[in-house]
Amino acid sequence: MKKAKITGIGTFVPEKLIDNHYFENIVETNDEWIQSRTGIKTRHFAADNEYTSHLCINAARNLEENTGCSFNDVDFIVVATVTPDQVMPSVASQVQNKLGIPAAGAIDISAACAGFAYGIILANGLISAGTHKKILVFGAETLTKVTNYEDRTSCILFGDGAGVVLVEAAENTNILATTTGSQGDGGKDLYLSTRRKQVNGQDIITDGKIHQNGRAVFKWAVNTIAGQMNTLPAQCGLTMSDINWFVPHSANLRIIEALCNNSGYPLEQTLESITIYGNTSSASIPLALHRGIRDGKVKKGDKIMMFGFGGGLVYAGLIMEWG
């Protein structure tokens, strides 16, 4: 049986930096409310002609710079996104073309803010099955293109960005434990509509923008993920105290605090991307992890537990060893 190993990371955010005061001219809000209720200070907006595939290419170039890896023999590409350039063709196939990779399979996956963790779990499965050897897994979003700028409860949250990891066949794996789950009856609480006008039998807004019942998602995330955090380490013979870093989806700093409170995990050992990048959905975990690596916090051999959660409602978590 082949083993899957995460061997490198790259990230990218668009140039345009937006602070909280920007929203004071758009909706009734202020910097103090945004910072105290969400933790967000700034986020990045993609330019009008900058789409998710562009962010992926830039993140891949960053991965190349960081690791010196070659993309020539990549045999599969997964892009986790809810904001593809188009529904078809996939972002992954555009990335294959732009990176000039000759023989890679390519798919987009839809698991919202849990997408990046789902992508790694898929790559782990493909490599373990022996069908693939070298996989790029992206979490990439241009959420600001589907944000409702009349809704003050959501427009202040979102930012754009991308992250990518390389997952390769190796002698030993560094993906130690995984878990996935779904609670589809909460679909109505966080959606981005295209055609159908109902979710869970309830009427929804079909304006092609993100809509969420923030309080309901907040409560679900804290209750569900805190429990999962407590049970996942046992899957690979570890306890919570063996986990050096917790990297949750960065949706709200208060969610991260509540997760630590409820699970008993130390807040100072968390990595986040919410304060400077806002909520970037599937990109939030790689952005936080890469930030932790660049800041010298994450060391070779550290055990990292990541948990993505969001629209579906779905979650995915894993424990990996860095390096």
Answer for which of 119, 308, 310, 317 binds ligand UT7 (CB under 6 A) is 310
Answer for which of 16, 215, 294, 299 binds ligand UT7 (CB under 6 A) is 215
Q: Across the strands, what pairs with 9? A: 165
* Residue 218 touching ligand UT7 (CB under 6 A): yes
* Residue 143 touching ligand UT7 (CB under 6 A): no
* Residue 316 touching ligand UT7 (CB under 6 A): no
Q: Which segments within 47-187 are labelled E, that is strand?
A: 76-80, 105-109, 134-142, 160-170, 175-182
* Residue 22 touching ligand UT7 (CB under 6 A): no
* Residue 251 touching ligand UT7 (CB under 6 A): yes
43: Cβ contacts below 8 Å, ≥ 6 apart: 17, 18, 158, 159, 160, 276, 277, 278, 280
* Residue 314 touching ligand UT7 (CB under 6 A): no
Q: Which one of 125-133, 164-172, 251-259, 314-322 is the stretch in contact with ligand UT7 (CB under 6 A)?
A: 251-259
Q: Mark whether 249 is an active-site residue.
A: yes
Distance CA 244, CA 266 (A): 10
> Residue 208 has what DSSP assignment?
S
Distance CA 292, CA 294 (A): 6
CA 77 to chain centre: 16
Instruction: Supply the DSSP string of 20-81, one letter for each residue.
Output: THHHHTTSS--HHHHHHHH---EEEE--TT--HHHHHHHHHHHHHHHH---STT--EEEEE-
Contacts with ligand UT7, 48-87, as mask; x by CB under 6 A: ----------------------------------------
Q: How far is the CB of 281 from ligand UT7 (least distance, A)?
A: 6
* Residue 214 touching ligand UT7 (CB under 6 A): yes
Q: Which one of 99-107, 149-157, 192-200, 234-242 is the stretch in contact with ligand UT7 (CB under 6 A)?
A: 149-157
Q: Which residues bind ligand UT7 (CB under 6 A)?
A: 29, 33, 37-38, 113, 152-153, 156, 212, 214-215, 217-218, 221, 251-252, 255, 279, 281, 310
